[in-house]
Amino acid sequence: MARLDSVRLDGDQAMNRTGWTTLGALLVGLAAGAWLADSRAPWGTTSHAMAQTSAVSTSAAPLPTVASPSLSQDEQRNISVYETANRSVVNIDTKTVSVDPFMMQHEAEGAGSGAVLDREGHVITNYHVIDGAQQISVTLASNDVYPAELIGGDKEHDIAVLKINAPAEVLFPINLGASEQLRVGQRVYAVGNPFGWDGTMTTGIVSSLNRNLPSRVDGRQMKSLIQTDAAMNPGNSGGPLLDGNARMVGMCVAIASRTGQNTGIGFAIPIDRIKSIVPELITNGRIVRADIGIINVMEAKDGLVIRQVAKGGPAEQAGLRGGRVVMQHLKQGGFVVAERPVFDSTQADRVVAFDGEELRTGVQFQDKLWSHKPGDTVTLTVIREGRRVEVPVTLRAD
């Protein structure tokens, strides 16, 4: 994505040089947010909750017929998509209490929107919508309001799962599509709660695919996002991006803007990624990532120097070597007047490849590591005392 002028990241927070802003901003007391969901587990999770639901079909059910001689075929399609999906879209309200240095409490209220995930009451949204909230409530399309419990979330992927205790008959799960089938130029629809105006639908096209943006975790990226010109504003965060058959193909997450308002460049998390992450969030409350037991690396001219390995961790057990910190004495007139810690890399392994792929940055190393699961065995190629050595390492859970 081309670099744009700085934009708001969250309400009146500092501007972000990357030129994008999440849609969960607090604006005049209203935070952004939006939920997506589906009732019948499309991901084959092993969790008890999801196991009780039937599989979601990604083939679209026939849309309701909108017959009117005064409406064009395109208008009829728009209406059908809205009437099919809108009952699955919900509003989210949050309350956050903070204490200032003078011990005075301040309450901030947020509002967003979303959609039902299953008939057990699971809903999902962007993590930034509910981050830090002490109270969360969900309002269904029927205007019934339910308190919500945070089941799990992942800050890096900006996805969270909530649960409400609502009767199954008032829950209308949204149909899930497949983002891998999207094409540039395809018509899409965003339904959400921009600026608190619930049940708002905007239309546009898929402008591009496979866009990358900085995540809310330093040094990490949200990858392969969907770019669209369907209007998004604060309040759309977490809301569904739909295809022409009212199937959810993405989750609205951010816009590129100088003002924090829509400029025709919006981004959505692909539904295929959401499908792969949600079951683990429901089961574990978080994504259990693989850990290699390397505490820190230092980028060098050719590879990554291991600064430190965790005692008893996978890297140490595999024989990988970190460096050491030594004290350097500063002398004046033959006397030691000061000392400072200095990193000694002479005995440290230098990682040059991960499973045969060359490495040059710490981000590359992290990406390769997090593409694996605990229990996997990976091979690091290191330079040790001038020799090239292949070191297999079995990963553990973080």
Catalytic residues: 128, 158, 237
Burial of 165 (0-12, 13-18, 19+ CB in 10 A): exposed
Q: Which residues on adjacent β-strands are paired with residue 390?
A: 381
**How far is 233 from 255, CA to CA, in rounded Å?**
8
Q: What is the DSSP string of 120-187?
A: T-EEEE-HHHHTT-SEEEEE-TTS-EEEEEEEEEETTTTEEEEEE---GGG--PPPB--GGG--TT-E
List phi, psi (to 5°) of 325: -100, 125
Residue 185, C-beta contacts closer than 8 angstroms, at least 6 positions apart: 205, 206
Residue 72, C-beta contacts closer than 8 angstroms, at least 6 positions apart: none
Q: How many CB atoms lie within 10 A of CB 389?
A: 13
Give CA 43 to chain center in angstroms: 17
